[in-house]
Homo-oligomer: A and B are copies of this chain.
Amino acid sequence: MEFNCTPIGVIHTSYNTKESAPIQGAFHSDAIGTVEVAAEFAEGLLDIELFSHLILLYHFDRATDVELVRRPFLDDTPHGIFATRHPCRPSGIGLSIVKLVGREGNLLQVSGIDVLDGTPLLDIKPYVARFDCFPEASEGWFAGKKQREKPSGRE
């Protein structure tokens, strides 16, 4: 019952270590990256520039062991992994919503990106506010949490 998919490209950023990567790109809208779609999939980018925001799915390829309950980066209380966005999760799949700044062929310049350089890209989907924007959503344990440095030893 394993699920397999082939990455469609790679994400280039200036973050080479886990310590240097921001906790969430939305806190760092100036964080710029380049999404490189492999030539064989580039045709699928037709009309992508009609969208200002994109959903990126990628593989947390440098995540370590999964812990089902753990302390996330932004809180010192442990939570279930499905109540956090932590990289060390069963699926190994990460999600970021980024702003599309420009396109040159199969290269997309994006901002608000928070992943490690060389992260394998799994999918790009258009962000559509009608489907994806829920301003009334509760903040859960994120309420009142502010951006901070990643606590050491929390991977």
User: Which residue of the partner chain, among B3, B44, B45, contacts A122 with CB atoms under 8 Å?
Assistant: B3
Which residues of B sit under 8 angstroms from A133, Cβ to Cβ? 132-135, 137
This chain's copy number in the assembly: 2
User: Which residue of the partner chain, among B50, B89, B137, contacts A138 with CB atoms under 8 Å?
Assistant: B50
Considering the complex, give the chain B residue whose CB is closest to the CB of A51. B140
A123-B90, A140-B128 as given contacts; A83 in contact with B45, CB under 8 Å = yes
Whether the Cβ atoms of A139 and B134 lie closer than 8 Å is: no
Whether the Cβ atoms of A134 and B125 lie closer than 8 Å is: no
Q: Using C-beta atoms within 8 Å of the partner chain, give the interface range for chain A.
A: 35 or more
Give the CA-CA distance A131 to B124 in the complex, in Å: 17
Residue A32 at the chain B interface, CB threshold 8 Å: no
Give the CA-CA distance A140 to B46 in the complex, in Å: 12
Give the CA-CA distance A69 to B6 in the complex, in Å: 18
Q: List 8 A-B contacts (CB under 8 A).
A: A3-B4, A41-B82, A44-B80, A44-B81, A51-B137, A53-B137, A82-B125, A85-B125
List A residues at the B interface (Cβ < 8 Å): 1-8, 24-26, 37, 41, 43-48, 50-53, 55, 57, 59, 68-69, 78-85, 89-93, 95, 97, 120, 122-142
